[in-house]
Chain A
Amino acid sequence: MKKLLLTGLLGLISLASASAADALLINGEGATFPAPIYQKWFSDYNKANPSIQINYNADGSGAGIAAINNETVTIGASDAPMTDADLAKAKGGKILHFPTVAGADVLAYNVPGNPQLKLDADSVAGIFLGKITKWNDPALVALNPDAKLPDADIVVGHRTDASGTTFVFTDYLSHISSEWKTKVGASKDPGTKWPTGQGGKGNDGVAGLIKNTPGAIGYVELTYAVQNKMPFADLKNADGNFVTASLDSVSEALNGAKIPDDFRFSMINAPGAKSYPIASCTWLLVYQQQKDAAKGKALVDFLKWAYGPGEDEAKDLDYARLPSSLVDRVTKAIDTIKY
Chain B
Amino acid sequence: MPTLTDLPISTTPVASHDQYAIVNSSTSRFGDRLFYSICLLSAITVALLFLLVIGVQIHGSKLSFAAFGWKFLTSSQWDPSSDTESYGALPFIYGTVVSSLLALFIAVPLSVGTAVFLTDLAPLKIRQPLVSVIEMLAAVPSVIWGLWGIFVMVPWLNGNLVPILKKTLGFLPIFSGPCIGGSMLAGGLIVAIMILPIVTSVSREILRSVPDLQREAAYGLGATRWEVTRIAVLSYARRGLMGAAVLGLGRAVGETMAVTMVIGNVAQIKPSLFASGYTLASVIANVFAEASSDLEISALFEIGLVLMGVTIIINIMALLLIRAFETPGSRRA
Contact = CB atoms under 8 A, between A and B. Distances in A.
Interface of A: 59-63, 65-66, 83, 85, 153, 155, 157, 160-163, 185, 187-194, 197-201, 208-209, 212-213, 215-216
Interface residues of B, number: 35
A155 B79 contact: no
Given A153-B180, A197-B266, A192 B290 contact: no
B290 A191 contact: no
A189 B77 CA distance: 13
Nearest to A63: B292
Contacts of A190: 79-81
B150 A62 contact: no
B315 interface: no
Contact of B292 (A65, A160, A208): A65
Nearest to B287: A161
A70 to B, nearest CB: 12
B79 A191 contact: yes
B234 interface: no
Interface in B278-297: 278, 283, 285-287, 289-293
Interface string B90-108: 0100000000000000000
Contact of A199 (B76, B91, B266): B266
A170 to B, nearest CB: 9
A215 B179 CA distance: 12
A155 B181 contact: yes
28 contacts: A60-B289, A62-B292, A62-B293, A65-B292, A160-B265, A160-B286, A160-B287, A161-B289, A162-B291, A187-B81, A188-B80, A189-B290, A190-B80, A191-B77, A191-B80, A192-B77, A192-B78, A192-B91, A192-B267, A198-B182, A198-B266, A199-B266, A201-B260, A201-B265, A201-B285, A209-B182, A215-B180, A216-B181
B174 to A, nearest CB: 19
Given A60-B292, A213-B181, A199 B81 contact: no
Interface in B138-158: 150-151, 154-155
B309 interface: no
Contacts of A192: 76-79, 91, 267-268
A190 B265 CA distance: 13
A213 B180 contact: yes
B264 A198 contact: yes
B55 interface: no
B276 interface: yes
A66 B290 CA distance: 12
B167 to A, nearest CB: 18
Contacts of A85: 82
A199 B293 CA distance: 21
Contacts of A188: 80, 290, 292
A235 B291 CA distance: 31
A215 B290 CA distance: 28
A162 B264 CA distance: 17
Nearest to A32: B290
A214 B83 CA distance: 36
B170 to A, nearest CB: 17
A60 to B, nearest CB: 5
Contacts of B83: 185
A285 B264 CA distance: 36
A216 B292 CA distance: 29
A279 B2 CA distance: 53
A201 B265 CA distance: 9
Contacts of B80: 162, 187-191
B259 to A, nearest CB: 12
A197 B181 CA distance: 10
A265 to B, nearest CB: 20
B178 interface: yes
Given A187-B81, A212-B155, A161 B180 contact: no
Residue among B76, B91, B286 facing the most chain A CB atoms (10 A cut-off)? B286
A211 B154 CA distance: 12
B258 to A, nearest CB: 13
A198 B285 CA distance: 16
A62 B291 contact: yes
A282 to B, nearest CB: 15
Given A192-B77, A201-B265, A209-B182, 13 more contacts: A59-B290, A62-B292, A63-B292, A157-B181, A162-B291, A163-B290, A185-B83, A189-B290, A192-B268, A198-B266, A199-B265, A200-B265, A201-B286
Contacts of A189: 80-81, 287, 290
A320 B261 CA distance: 32
Contacts of B180: 153, 155, 213, 215
Contacts of A215: 180
Contact of B290 (A62, A197, A212, A216): A62
B176 to A, nearest CB: 15
A209 B181 contact: yes
Residue among A59, A155, A157, A199 facing the most chain B CB atoms (10 A cut-off)? A199
A185 B266 contact: no
Contacts of B151: 212
Given A153-B178, A192-B79, A198-B182, A60 B266 contact: no
B79 to A, nearest CB: 5
A162 B287 contact: yes
Contacts of B181: 155, 157, 198, 209, 212-213, 216
A212 B150 CA distance: 7
A162 B285 contact: no
A225 B142 CA distance: 27
B289 A212 contact: no
A208 B266 contact: no
A60 B291 CA distance: 8
Contacts of A187: 80-82
Contacts of A163: 290
Contacts of A59: 289-290
A259 B83 CA distance: 26
B81 A193 contact: yes
B297 to A, nearest CB: 10
Nearest to A161: B290
B87 to A, nearest CB: 8
